[in-house]
Amino acid sequence: MAPRLHVKKNDTVIVLHGVDKGKRGKVLSVFPKAGKVVVEGVQIQKKHSRPTRELPQGDIIEQPGRIYASKVQVVCPSCDKPTRTSKVRTEEGYSARVCKKCGKTID
């Protein structure tokens, strides 16, 4: 069973450590087994593509790379601040993520 992460796809996060410290971006994909996430505009890597009929000279593509999920923090949509989250049971019986600073649900 893969460990659960505190971030989900389409969350807005801020980078806490590394070269891209302080950057904000949207989570594009999550890899729970590796404990990593891909954030838009962070950890940009260059990939060389082979020459094809459409691109006879080849091309260099820039794409975001994976970073550890522990190095990002969720930005609350209501108070617009980076925050830790907690889980709270709702009346319907499922759990929701809640902002520790303002107390409003993130999901």
Domains contained in the chain, CATH given:
1-75 (2.30.30.30), 77-107 (no CATH)
CB pairs under 8 A, 24+ apart, for 75-80?
75/11, 75/12, 75/13, 75/14, 75/24, 76/101, 76/102, 76/104, 76/106, 77/12, 77/106, 78/102, 78/104, 79/104
Model confidence, pTM: 0.85
pLDDT in tens, 19-66: 999 999 999 999 999 999 999 999 999 999 999 999 899 999 999 999
Q: 39-51 pLDDT, tens per residue?
A: 999 999 999 999 9
